Amino acid sequence: MIFQSRYLEIDNTSNFYLIGAKYNKKIGFYSSKLPPNIFNRVVSELNCIQLDSLNQYYEASWTDDQTCGVLIQTTDTIYKSSAYGFDEEPVELRILFHTLMELYKDVELKEDSLIEDKFLFQNFPYENIPPPPNRK
């Protein structure tokens, strides 16, 4: 999951990795193990999304908003979707974005400068999020 100020990954064994940047309460590299109730909530929200029908990009009709993106890997497929602003994406995706945006506040994070190599999709933040639209 990528936001403009943080990148995070959650694996199927509930490991949680976070890189926090500007406009974030946590800046740097962090890791944690998600408690079962939080991990199950994320999985439940993922299961509510019709992955096959996701667009790769959703765009609001205004400017000065944030871009959020998600990459979901199943056993045989990788799904990618992002949204500039919250407007046209499915509400289930919006709920997942909100949960993931706030997740780092609900878990006990440990600073972990060694996690950089643990990220499976290190290039996702840089290659899959389109820039915000140029509007006049």
Give the pLDDT confidence of 67-78 residue by residue, as tens digits: 888 889 899 998
Determine, yes or no, domain membership for 75.
yes
Give the pLDDT confidence of 37-96 residue by residue, as tens digits: 999 999 999 999 999 999 988 888 888 778 888 889 899 998 999 888 888 899 999 999
3-state secondary structure of 51: helix
Q: What is the pLDDT of residue 136?
A: 46
Distant-in-sequence, close-in-space partners of 87: CB < 8 Å, separation ≥ 6? 58, 59, 60, 61
- Predicted confidence (pLDDT) at residue 24 exceeds the cutoff of 60: yes
Determine, yes or no, domain membership for 130.
no
Range of the domain at 74: 6-124
Determine, yes or no, domain membership for 61.
yes
Determine, yes or no, domain membership for 35.
yes
CATH of the domain at 40: 3.30.1560
CA angle (24 as vertex; 20, 25 as ends), nearest 5: 100
The model's pTM: 0.79
Count of structural domains within the chain: 1
Q: How far apart are CA 58 and CA 24, in angstroms?
A: 24
Q: What is the pLDDT of residue 64?
A: 78
Are 96 and 45 contacting, i.e. CB atoms less than 8 angstroms apart? yes
